[in-house]
Amino acid sequence: VLTAAVMFLGLAACGSGSSSSSTSAATQPAGAGPVKVTEKDFKLDLATTSAKAGKVSFSVHNLGPSEHEFVVFQTDLAPDKLPTKSDGNVDEEGAGVKHIDEIGGIKVGKTEPLSIDLTAGRYVVICNLDGHYAAGMHEVFTVTG
């Protein structure tokens, strides 16, 4: 019994070295803070591009200089290939996209929260104010099971 205990201690000591197995920086760990999103003319930046299925919180900050919004679709389409209307803005009831939720009209300098239950799958987040999607405000967000 004693020998086994000593061996175990030896193993434990050996294992206490640098065991810093870095996890993917891009995945939002469960129970972490909200996914930070920054919007500006005309770009949308996600601090983390994926999260675990369940309640996902976003914190959307608008750097301006225009008002922006934050719209979440579940879709397998490429972020720049969502169905659009004749004006170039995304058709939120279009084929291949499922509108999940959104924050409308985020004023310049403001930060708005959005918490939604997301199932595993692929999502695209955009700003759908006039011309903003076409100008490049779209990103992919992945939810893992």
| Site residues for Cu ion per CB under 5 A | 68, 127, 129, 132
**Quick one: 68 or 138, whose CB is closer to Cu ion?**
68
**Quick one: 123 or 133, whose CB is closer to Cu ion?**
133
Least distance to Cu ion from the beta carbon of 120, Å? 28
Least distance to Cu ion from the beta carbon of 13, Å? 56
HEC string of 21-85? CCCCCCEECCCCCCEEEEEECCEEEECCCEEECEEEEEEEEECCCCCEEEEEEECCCCCCCCCEC
Which residue in this structure is represented by tokens 């959005």?
114
Give the residue nearest to Cu ion (CB): 127
Q: Do residues 63 and 40 touch, judged by C-beta distance below 8 A? A: yes
| CA–CA dist 4, 66 (Å, integer) | 68
**Quick one: 132 or 138, whose CB is closer to Cu ion?**
132
Angle at 126 between CA 93 and CA 142, to 5 degrees: 95
Least distance to Cu ion from the beta carbon of 31, Å? 30
Least distance to Cu ion from the beta carbon of 82, Å? 15
**Quick one: 41 or 83, whose CB is closer to Cu ion?**
41
